[in-house]
Every structure is written in C-alpha cells, then in structure tokens.
C-alpha cells in the first residue's frame, strides 16, 4: 500500500510570508522554505528547540516555533538577511525566536550555540535548508545565496558535522539535481537514518538554466535527478530529509515509519527516479504499479509557485 501523503497548500507559512521581502538580498523562495518547516516538524518532540543554520528571512524559524518548537535560533551569514529576520520575525526580548549573524562553516558547534541569547536545551534539532545549486566556480561567485559549489553539497559536511557534534537529529534539505546519493551516504556515515522524505517539484530558476554545466555533469554521472515532463518547464525536486541520529537519547530509530527498515541511498534514488516519471506535479508515478517500496513516510508538496524569487 502506498504511504505517500500529499499537501497542496501552504500550511506552515502565512500570507505575510508569501510576500517577497523588501530587500532582494533576503532569500525568497517560499516552497523551499515551507519544505524545511515540514521536515523539522517531522522530528519534533515535546519541548524541543531548533538551531536553524542559514536561516534566511526568518520565516522558517518563526513557522517552526508556531509548529511546536519551544525555541528556535537562526544563524545566517548575511547582514541584511539577519537584520530583516530580526525586524520581522524575532520575538521581543529573549523570546522563542532569535537570530544571530555568523558563518556556520567557520564557527565551532559550541560557538554556534553561544550566538543564542539564552541556552538552547534538549531535545535539540539542527535544521538547514542551505544553498544547494550545483554551479561552476565562476557562476557560484555570482549567486552566493544558492550556490552549493560543484556537487551542490558544499555546506553539507559542516551542517552534518554540527548536528553530529551536538548529538542532534537533523532536518536537511537538498536539491534532486545536486548529489542526492552522495548526501544519503554522508548522512549514513555520520550515523543518521532517514526517517521521512518530503518532495516538492520546482521549476529551475533562470540563473540555473543559464548555468547548467554542473547539473548536466551530475545527471550524466547518474547522481542528479531532473524532472523533464512533457509540456512542463525543466524542474527538479526539493528533497527534505528528516534524519534521526541512531542511538541518541535512547529513542527508537524508525519511530516515524513504525518499522526498523532503512531508506538506503539506492532507495532514495529509486524514489526520485520514480517521481521523475510523473506527468503532473502530483507526482502520481509514486503510486503507480512498479513504484518502489519506500520504507519511510513520503510526502509530496504540490504548491503554487511564487512569481518572484530572491536569489543573490
Ligand atoms: C537557500 S537560503 C535558505 C534560507 C532559509 N533557510 C529558508 O529556507 O528560507 C540559504 C541561506 O543560507 C545562508 N548561508 C549560506 N551560507 C552560509 C554560511 N556558511 N553560514 C551561515 N549562513 C549561510 C544564506 O545567506 C541564505 O540566507
């Protein structure tokens, strides 16, 4: 029986979050932001806090707090981004939602925690929807807010490393047109088990379409998965991975699926390839005969696309 659930409207972002920020130097891609909230919420447990790495506009952090996290602290390297997040989403005083400026690839895990105005207690979840577009060095220099360097996973070692060092579960977002197999392998090697997968189809942005060298190389290597349905713009899937660290907190792995079965890197690739056979953004191929068995919950976000994007 299929374990795919579908969501066709924004549930976490509010109307005000769907309006582009006044500054084009604040990331705006609401479907991408919404998926990050679903993935983090899959890992929530009573009294949890979230450390959001690359917190952008702050809309995701605020939505995670509304969804049940007791405190959410966002860290972003962009000065304008952090100023926007503080002005629009931070709680007054030392409230449940706070932001700090910092580069998570340069700070130690202890230093990252110290940017929070009050201690973040456990259970602590690390969440990150980092830049993930595979770009050449030249193109990457033009779009820092979306560049994941040549394999799209530039930031993954730092993010997974922080989650590991903090003994935290990890809500991690990647693009299917980057290196999903490699990402799954990195997670497994760090002791993370994928507990749920959320997919959201998105058309490739104009900048990515004009700089496809890396994406096409990765596709040729069998790493990247694009969605090229007839009559549709070339697209990809935002891939949200809710990951539980094996053996942490004495909690059972497989608690979302109710089983101990693992989604392997081959399993993840099979899901993405099945999704890419779909004709509609409903990703109906995931339910059709011959679709791979997915041992964890699988969610499809079939959301209206924003007319405007802020990528810088
Ligand atoms: C793709 S945007 C996502 C923003 C937000 N997480 C969301 O989902 O809306 C990535 C964000 O990561 C930030 N960022 C990139 N590299 C970073 C780093 N090394 N340290 C901190 N923030 C970083 C960027 O400034 C940008 O705001």
The predicted pLDDT at position 256 comes to: 57
**Which of 130, 160, 310, when mutated, tests ligand 1's pocket best, judged by the most ligand atoms within 8 Å of its CB?**
130
Say how many Å lie between the CA of residue 253 and the centre of ligand 1. Answer: 29
Cα angle 77, 71, 38; round to 5: 80
Could you tell me the pTM of the whole model? 0.95
Q: What are the distances in angstroms from CA 187 to CA 69, 161, 194?
A: 23, 10, 8
Please give the number of the atom of ligand 1 that sits closest to the Cα of 105.
19
Is the distance from CB of 99 to CB of 51 less than 8 angstroms? no
Say how many Å lie between the CA of residue 217 and the centre of ligand 1. Answer: 25
Cis-peptide, bond into residue 5, ω within 30° of zero: no
| Ligand 1 pocket by Cβ (under 6 Å) | 27, 32-33, 36, 54-57, 60, 75-78, 81, 103-105, 129-131, 145-146, 155
- Note the CATH number of domain 4-301: 3.40.50.150
Please give the number of the atom of ligand 1 that sits closest to the Cα of 106.
19
DSSP string for residues in 182-211 = HHHHHHHHTTEEEEEEEEEEEEPPHHHHH-
> Can you tell me the distance from the alpha carbon of 184 to that of 194, in angstroms, rounded to the nearest whole number?
8
Please give the number of the atom of ligand 1 that sits closest to the Cα of 129.
6
pLDDT values of the chain reduced to their tens digit, one per residue, 312 residues: 468 999 999 999 999 999 999 888 899 999 999 999 999 999 999 999 999 999 999 999 999 999 999 999 999 999 999 999 999 999 887 789 999 999 999 999 999 999 999 999 999 999 999 999 999 999 999 888 889 999 999 999 999 999 999 999 999 999 999 999 999 999 999 999 999 999 999 999 899 999 999 999 999 999 999 999 988 899 999 999 999 998 665 555 555 555 667 899 999 999 999 999 999 999 999 999 989 999 999 999 999 888 787 777
The predicted pLDDT at position 259 comes to: 61
Query: How many residues in total does the chain contain?
Result: 312
Is the distance from CB of 29 to CB of 309 less than 8 angstroms? yes
The predicted pLDDT at position 249 comes to: 52
CB neighbours (10 Å) of residue 22? 10
Residue nearest to atom 19 of ligand 1 (CA): 103
Tell the residue number behind the tokens 């907190």, with chain if given.
249
Domain spans of the chain? 4-301
Token pair listed for 186: 């990195």
> Can you tell me the distance from the alpha carbon of 291 to that of 287, in angstroms, rounded to the nearest whole number?
6
**Which of 37, 58, 77, 85, when mutated, tests ligand 1's pocket best, judged by the most ligand atoms within 8 Å of its CB?**
77
The predicted pLDDT at position 306 comes to: 82
């Amino acid at each position: 029986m299929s374990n795919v659930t579908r969501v066709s409207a924004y549930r976490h972002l509010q109307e005000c979050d769907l309006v582009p920020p006044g500054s084009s130097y604040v990331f705006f891609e609401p479907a991408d932001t919404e998926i990050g909230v679903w993935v983090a919420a899959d890992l929530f447990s009573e009294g949890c806090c979230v450390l959001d790495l690359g917190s952008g506009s702050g809309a995701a952090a605020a939505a995670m707090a509304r969804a049940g996290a007791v405190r959410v602290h966002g860290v972003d390297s962009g000065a304008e981004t952090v100023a926007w997040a503080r002005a629009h989403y931070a709680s007054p005083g030392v409230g449940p939602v706070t932001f700090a400026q910092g580069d998570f690839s340069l700070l130690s895990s202890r230093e990252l925690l110290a940017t929070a105005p009050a201690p973040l207690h456990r259970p602590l979840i690390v969440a990150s929807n980092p830049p993930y577009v595979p770009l050449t060095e030249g193109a990457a220099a033009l779009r820092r807010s979306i560049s994941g360097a040549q394999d799209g996973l530039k930031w993954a070692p730092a993010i997974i490393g922080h989650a590991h060092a903090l003994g935290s579960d990890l809500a991690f977002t990647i693009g299917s047109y980057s290196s999903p197999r490699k990402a799954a392998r990195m997670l497994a090697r760090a002791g993370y088990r994928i507990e749920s997968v959320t997919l959201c189809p998105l058309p490739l942005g104009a900048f990515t379409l004009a700089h496809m060298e890396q994406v096409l190389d990765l596709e040729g290597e069998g790493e990247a998965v694009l969605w090229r349905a007839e009559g549709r713009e070339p697209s990809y899937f935002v891939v949200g991975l809710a990951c539980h660290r094996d053996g942490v907190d004495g909690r059972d792995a497989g608690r979302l699926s109710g089983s101990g079965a693992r989604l392997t890197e081959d399993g993840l690739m099979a899901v993405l390839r099945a999704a890419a056979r779909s004709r509609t953004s409903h990703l109906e191929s995931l339910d059709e005969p011959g679709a791979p068995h997915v041992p964890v919950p699988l969610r499809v976000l079939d959301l209206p696309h924003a007319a405007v994007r802020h990528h810088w």
